[in-house]
Structure 1
Amino acid sequence: MKQALKIRIGGHYYAQPQHLLRLKADVNYTHIYFKDGTYKYVATTLGILEGRLHEYGFFRTNRSTIVNLSEIKSYRKKGTCMVASLANDTEVMISKRRVKDFLECHDKNG
């Protein structure tokens, strides 16, 4: 996992990847949640941010969510999918088609 000073998260906003918890899509905008409980709403798509964050230990769990793998405290199977619990007790669904990749990335980064 690569360390960065700051990356562009949208508009004039920059952030250190290790301070990010999760990102949630909202059409062509993204809610960015930080570890300290704050969040920003930026006019950058989740796909663009996924490309910028992938090398820093982030994983797209489903069509609308990206999580910081280092902030996952546990995960469990739920039907054919999985659910990951983050450090702030937020639960994120991992889609059926991404479970295998998630387990590989989590084992590699965890």
Structure 2
Amino acid sequence: MLNAIIIDDEDHCRSRLVNLLEVYANGKVKVLGSFSDTASLDVFLESNVPDVVFLDIELDEEIVFNWLNGKKDPPFALVFTTAHERYAIEAIKANALDYLLKPIDPDELLLTLEKIKSKSDQKPGALSRATEVLPAFHTAKKKIPIPTQEGLVFVELDEISHLQADVNYTVIHFQNKQKITVAKTLKEFESMLQVLGFFRVHNSHLVNLSKVKQFKKGKGGTLILENGSQIDVSTRKKEALLTALRAM
């Protein structure tokens, strides 16, 4: 059972998230409290430690990143809920476990809950702290393990240009135009690589931002990578992508 807190200044948003958790979480999430401001959360945290806090970014005139600046190593997983994509980079830097766009999609919420449970299982008895759940953007990690029929191959991140979904498989594309197919979903790779400079620009594509040569305007736009690959960008991801590219 995960204990959750919801912070949102809009009543209907708090109610909807409570309902989503009741309907889709199969009784595995208990909402301990639902508040409209961080002051109420501070009072609650004096005597309680939730597993996860669902936190809206804009609360009336307050931006919650200012509140987070005064918190050192919060002992709970932090999930931002917002209607604005422009805060994606700030959320990463704040060591958030996840970033859910409103209106919250039930499938995306379930993936977030699975991520929380996965981190909890890795550290029996307690959830990882937020700073352990999601490392800082662009960590020093240089290689990732790729499962093959023979075992594991350790691939340099700098050799990867992008990854492409193929149903329950993922095609990894390299800078030299070679590619391999791996029996893992793109979502699994996204969870591992989103803090290492990779960005999900489309349902089907996860791109190494360090390999982007050009962004071409369009409905969503198109990325031109250093090896000549062209990747379409979804309209939904465009704003957050441009923010990430400018922050590099």
- TM-score in terms of structure 1 length: 0.91
Are 1:100 and 2:239 counterparts? Answer: yes
Counterpart in the other structure of 1:9: 146
Q: Larger Cα Rg: Structure 1 or Structure 2?
A: 2
Q: How many residues are matched?
A: 108
Name the structure, 1 or 2, with higher relative contact order (CA <8 Å, separation 6+). Answer: 1
Q: Quote the offset at 1:3 in angstroms.
A: 2.6
Q: Identity of paired residues, percent?
A: 31
Are 1:85 and 2:219 counterparts? Answer: no
- Give the conservation status (yes or no) of the 8 Å contact 2:176–2:227: no
**Structure 1 gap ranges (5+):** none
Q: Separation in 1 of the partners of 2:142 and 2:241?
A: 26
Q: How do 1:32-71 residues align onto structure 2 when only pairs under 5 Å count? A: 32-71=172-211
- Give the conservation status (yes or no) of the 8 Å contact 1:9–1:44: no
3-state SS, counterpart of residue 242 of structure 2: helix
Q: Separation in 1 of the partners of 2:211 and 2:205?
A: 14
Q: Separation in 1 of the partners of 2:158 and 2:199?
A: 13
- TM-score in terms of structure 2 length: 0.42
Tell me which amino acid in the other structure corresponds to 1:108: A
Q: Separation in 1 of the partners of 2:193 and 2:220?
A: 24
Higher strand share: 1
Higher helix share: 2
- Give the conservation status (yes or no) of the 8 Å contact 1:83–1:93: yes
Across the aligned residues of Structure 1 and Structure 2, the Cα RMSD in angstroms comes to 1.2
Q: Quote the offset at 1:73 in angstroms.
A: 0.5
3-state SS, counterpart of residue 105 of structure 1: helix
